[in-house]
Amino acid sequence: MKKSLIDFALAASAWALCGAANLVGQNLETLIKDIFAVPSPTGYENVLSIKIQGYLPKEWRVDRDNVGSLYAFPAAKAESNLVVATALDEFGYFVSGIAPDGYLRIDRAASEPVAIFNSFLLGHVMSVTTKKGALAALCSLPAMHIMPREMRDRLSRGITLNDIYLDIGVRSEDEAREKGVEILDAVTPWPDLAELEGRKWAGPSLAVRSGAAVLAALAQDLKGRKPASEATLVWLAQTRFSARSQDVRGALGAVRLKNRLKPAQVVLIDAIAADGEGGNVFIGKGPVLVQPREGVSRLRQKMEEAAVKANIPLQAMGAYESTLVSPFLKDTEDLLILGLPVKFKATMSEVIDLKDVQSLKDLLLQALK
């Protein structure tokens, strides 16, 4: 496994290091595009972590924990009462086998976000990150008119990973290995970003990537500001794995953050499903405030005051469950979720509104000022 991670890092280093000297100072849209282009399935976040570090002010102290999360400390000391955190990893797969005819088999790197997620892969182009670079792979099925009846009957009951093969355009296992493919190579949806009308963008795992970009842009805006010493910024790795021996199911990266820093106040950036039937959250209407616990929240008051001052629209919702949140429910003094509304959440075509992303970053900046 360690060798695979090293190969992954070497193969994708071009993404992380290309143009490193010009990373600081990019606008938010450029940051989203740059981060979106870098694969970071759970357990393979290192390359994206390196790239994000290139955006951070040089005078900040940067550290990583033993699961791969990235910590940015504007102050000299490591302790911080306030932490602003977001996820770093996307859902993805890895190569689990190479068939004699060159087709690739895949297995999941973490649990699927929804039960039918594997069905979304059909007909899509995937990216296989090898030690020689990224390979395009097509996830498809035989045409219906040549598909055996047994296979048609099985597929009618739902797609599983046992039904999925990736075609990289070769005819043998030897050819696949010549292209650089090895067992445990990371596999993710091809980073195809669609720019829709009305400043809306669509793509796989786009909400998570946008959250990571918001935090990177925030770091750039906080450069040289004294109040920045009150907040630590964290990009959480392995959020799709649950930590063991926990009273409440919690994302591994979030549990590690809580145990390491023991912050008194935590703001979590998360994706909130929007535009659902009967729902009250919509894209284009601003960030979503979620207060996971009852009672007075000074963080919520601060965000609402900042929103009024900066003329930023806000949405609110009540009950919300997330493995990012659960580790902080028990002992953390104050906890708040700032949600990015996303349409078609946990599909291959998540839709966000850039106005919401900009408002989310502006809200955090105003609150920290």
**Boundaries of every domain in the chain:** 2-90+194-368, 93-189
- What are the tens digits of pLDDT across the range 305-358? 999 999 999 999 887 888 899 999 888 999 999 999 999 999 999 999 999 999
pTM: 0.88
- Phi, psi (5° rounding) for residue 359? -65, -35
| SS3 category, 74 | coil
Quickly count: other Cβ atoms within 10 Å of residue 215's Cβ.
Answer: 25
- Domain covering 2-90+194-368 assigned CATH 3.40.630.10 in the classification: yes
Q: In Å, how far are 43, 57, 68, 77, 275 from 214, measured between CA atoms?
A: 22, 15, 19, 24, 22
Residue 129 · residue 227 · CB < 8 Å:
no
The structure tokens listed for 220 are 């750039």
Residue carrying the six token digits 């842009």 = 217
Regions of the chain with pLDDT less than 70: 1-26, 75-79, 225-229, 244-248, 277-278
pLDDT at 16: 43
Question: What tokens does 190 get?
Answer: 């091809």
**What is the structure's pLDDT at 35?**
97
Is residue 165 a contact partner of residue 105, using CB atoms and an 8 Å limit? Answer: yes
CATH superfamily of domain region 93-189: Peptidase M42, domain 2 (2.40.30.40)
Strands 231-236 and 82-87: parallel
| Residue 194 structure tokens | 């669609």
Q: Report the greatest alpha carbon distance in the chain.
A: 68
> Is 281 strand, coil or helix?
coil
Which amino acid would we find at residue 316? A
Other beta carbons less than 10 A from residue 148's beta carbon: 9
Q: Among residues 67, 85, 65, 48, which one has the least CA distance to residue 219?
A: 85
Count of Cβ atoms closer than 10 Å to residue 152 Cβ: 12
pLDDT of residue 268: 97
Q: What is the structure's pLDDT at 277?
A: 60
Token duo for residue 17: 């290091």
- The confidence score (pLDDT) of residue 7 equals 47
Q: Which residues contact 149 (CB under 8 A, 6 or more apart)?
A: none
| pLDDT at residue 226 in the model | 63
At residue 11, the pLDDT reads 45
In angstroms, rounded to a whole number, what is the distance separating the alpha carbons of residues 201 and 139? 23
Residue 245 has a pLDDT of 55
